[in-house]
């Protein structure tokens, strides 16, 4: 049964609902709606001007209505009289095809039609920085190898524990928190779930982390590469596919190499086949390519891929198979749109299943030390423009994601690239002034 949000408000003491949708650039847009008005909003949606957000619309377009999906509602643990609810974008009675959550739901439906149930988990890394965004917030966090630093995570205990307490309260099943490989960087893990639920949780997690950081006078950033010389923010995604009932992992086969079934290999084959085009979605900003193509960091490794390769339990490759029945895509970064991340994985994977794609050979080498020996694997795009061009020429992937979405995304991201390319920088003065 569909949850009655008005009754939910009365039961939980909710005064306001944040009806939220995510635009093409990953921006979270919301209207704060009093509980007294939520019944009408649940039926009709909250009205927005789509052009005012990153959607390919004009001021002449009719109202965009964000219709709340009541199954996603979350009472804010840090402000209990407010509830957040993810919404689906509708215009003139039809789903907006370019809206990221709609793209994901369409692809989930296609997977279900094939008797497949995609489950995923994400590892969303972030930095806790000063409120002005200039530097990491802990001046004592200076170790060359700060990963898992016991003292450093305890100096940020109040922030990390508060967020973890909230995830426990929400029933997400958080199971570990750690200081990551960069100074000032953290990661918090919770249990994997259905792809849509993971996307909603990922979206809310970013909102929650930023809100709690601000509450403590800090700022949280998921920016892919906020500091030169430090490891960037990844958002690794663990992927498995189950039967339609979600009870049997069809990727798992103990008799096969790495415990990955023939279907698992085909799904992985789709990821490998479309990897260069995937980057336009999984690494969606100019800054993303400062992480992928970074030189060695202070800690000694970037922990990000730059070549389309896969391996067993080896973190130097684009895809790692850490155990039977699943694999980890290490390409995405912190700027990735939570809904488009899941959508592009399903789109590429289903193509792999349909075409029985072969993932190719695996490499049991340290790509950071011996990557130059790999001559038959493509390099990942060097910049956002290259990634957009790869996506634009991948007709199959564009079709799978939806031509309306693909056209809108490429158009707006090309504008973003053009804006970046025309930006005058200090580097240009430093290197060219005396030429």
Establish how many alpha carbons lie within 13 A of residue 214's alpha carbon, considering only the half-sphere containing its beta carbon.
8
- Cα 413 to Cα 54: distance, rounded to the nearest angstrom: 10
Domains of the chain, residue spans: 13-93, 106-402
Are the beta carbons of 360 and 366 closer than 8 angstroms? no
Question: How far apart are alpha carbons 130 and 115 in whole angstroms?
Answer: 48
The predicted pLDDT at position 293 comes to 85
Give me the CATH code for the 13-93 domain, please.
3.10.20.70
DSSP string, 104-156: HHHHHHHHHHTTEEEEEEEEEEEEEE-TTSSSBS-TT---SS-TT-HHHHHHT
pLDDT at 301 (0 to 100): 78
β-pair partners for 68: 87
Q: What is the pLDDT of residues 402-415, one digit of tens each?
A: 999 999 999 999 99
Q: Is the dihedral of CA 85, 29, 410, 316 positive or negative?
A: negative
DSSP 245: T
Question: Residue 371 is encoded by which pair of tokens?
Answer: 């990557």
Q: What is the pLDDT of residue 292?
A: 92
Tokens for 374?
């790999």
Tell me if 413 sits within 8 A of 388, measured CB to CB. Answer: yes
Q: Report the C-alpha dihedral over residues 203, 205, 208, 211, rounded to 10 degrees.
A: -70
Is residue 429 exposed (0-12), middle (13-18) or buried (19+ Cβ within 10 Å)?
A: exposed
pLDDT digits (tens, 9 = 90+) for 141-169: 999 999 999 999 999 999 999 999 999 99
Gap between the Cα atoms of 85 and 411, Å rounded: 29
Report the alpha-carbon distance of residue 210 to residue 310 in Å, rounded: 33
Nearest Cα residue to 336 out of 161, 100, 57, 63? 100
354: three-class secondary structure by DSSP: helix
Distance between CA atoms of residues 99 and 22, nearest Å: 8
The CATH architecture one would assign to domain 106-402 is: 2-Layer Sandwich (3.30)
**Average pLDDT of the residues of the chain:** 96
pTM of the model: 0.97
pLDDT digit of tens for each residue in the chain (435 aa)? 579 999 999 999 999 999 999 999 999 999 999 999 999 999 999 999 999 999 999 999 999 999 999 999 999 999 999 999 999 999 999 999 999 999 999 999 999 999 999 999 999 999 999 999 999 999 999 999 999 999 999 999 999 999 999 999 999 999 999 999 999 999 999 999 999 999 999 999 999 999 999 999 999 999 999 999 999 999 999 999 999 999 999 999 999 999 999 999 999 999 999 999 999 999 999 999 999 987 777 777 788 999 999 999 999 999 999 999 999 999 999 999 999 999 999 999 999 999 999 999 999 899 998 988 899 999 999 999 999 999 999 999 999 999 999 999 999 999 999 999 999 999 999 999 999
Q: Which residues contact 178 (CB under 8 A, 6 or more apart)?
A: 147, 148, 153, 186, 187
Tokens of 245: 């009932």
Q: How far apart are the first and last CA of the chain?
A: 70
Residue 422 is predicted with a pLDDT of 96
Q: What is the pLDDT of residue 1?
A: 55
DSSP helix/strand/coil, 345: helix
Report the C-alpha gap between 306 and 46 in whole angstroms: 42
Quote the CA–CA distance of 345 and 337 in Å, as a whole number. 12
CB atoms within 10 A of CB 103: 29
Distances (CA, A) of 367 to 303, 326, 363, 377, 395: 10, 21, 9, 12, 30
Q: How many CB atoms lie within 10 A of CB 162?
A: 16
Pairing of strands 82-91, 193-194: unpaired
Which class for 159: exposed (0-12), middle (13-18), buried (19 or more C-beta within 10 A)? buried
- The rounded distance, in Å, linking the Cα atoms of 201 and 203 is 5
Among 303, 429, 414, 309, smallest CA distance to 363 is for 309
């Amino acid at each position: 049964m569909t949850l009655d949000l008005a009754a939910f408000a009365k039961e939980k003491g909710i005064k306001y609902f944040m009806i939220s949708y995510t635009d093409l650039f990953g921006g979270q847009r919301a209207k704060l709606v009093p509980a007294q008005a939520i019944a009408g909003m649940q039926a009709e949606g909250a009205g927005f001007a789509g052009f005012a957000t990153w959607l390919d619309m004009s001021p002449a377009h009719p109202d965009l209505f964000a219709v709340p999906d009541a199954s996603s509602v979350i009472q804010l643990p840090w402000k209990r009289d407010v509830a957040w609810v993810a919404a689906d974008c509708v215009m003139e009675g039809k789903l907006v095809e370019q809206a990221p959550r709609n793209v994901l739901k369409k692809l989930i439906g296609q997977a279900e039609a094939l008797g497949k149930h995609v489950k995923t988990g994400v590892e969303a890394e972030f930095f806790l920085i000063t409120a002005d965004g200039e530097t990491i917030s802990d001046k004592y966090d200076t170790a060359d190898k700060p990963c898992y630093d016991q003292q450093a995570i305890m100096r940020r205990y109040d922030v990390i524990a508060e967020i973890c307490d909230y995830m426990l309260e929400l029933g997400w099943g958080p199971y570990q928190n750690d200081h990551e490989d960069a100074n000032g960087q953290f990661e918090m893990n919770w249990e994997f779930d259905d792809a849509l639920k993971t996307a909603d949780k990922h979206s809310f997690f970013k909102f929650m982390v930023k809100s709690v950081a601000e509450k403590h006078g800090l700022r949280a950033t998921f920016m892919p590469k906020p500091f030169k010389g430090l490891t960037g923010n990844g958002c690794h995604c663990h992927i498995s596919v189950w039967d339609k009932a979600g009870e049997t992992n069809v990727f798992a086969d103990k008799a096969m190499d790495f415990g990955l079934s023939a279907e698992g290999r085909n799904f992985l084959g789709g990821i490998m086949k479309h990897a260069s085009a995937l980057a336009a979605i999984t690494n969606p900003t100019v800054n993303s390519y400062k992480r992928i193509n970074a030189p060695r960091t202070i800690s000694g490794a970037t922990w990000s891929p730059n070549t389309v390769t896969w391996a067993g339990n080896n973190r130097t490759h684009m895809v790692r198979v850490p155990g039977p029945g699943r694999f980890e895509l290490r390409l995405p970064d912190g700027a990735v749109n939570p809904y488009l991340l899941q959508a592009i994985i399903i789109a590429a994977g289903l193509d792999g299943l349909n075409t029985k794609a072969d993932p190719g050979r695996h490499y049991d080498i340290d790509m950071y030390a011996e990557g130059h020996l790999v001559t038959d694997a493509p390099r990942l795009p060097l910049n956002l423009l290259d990634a957009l061009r790869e996506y634009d020429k991948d007709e199959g992937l564009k079709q799978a994601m939806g031509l309306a979405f693909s056209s809108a995304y490429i158009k707006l991201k090309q504008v973003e690239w053009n804006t970046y390319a025309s930006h005058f920088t200090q580097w240009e003065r430093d290197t060219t002034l005396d030429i």
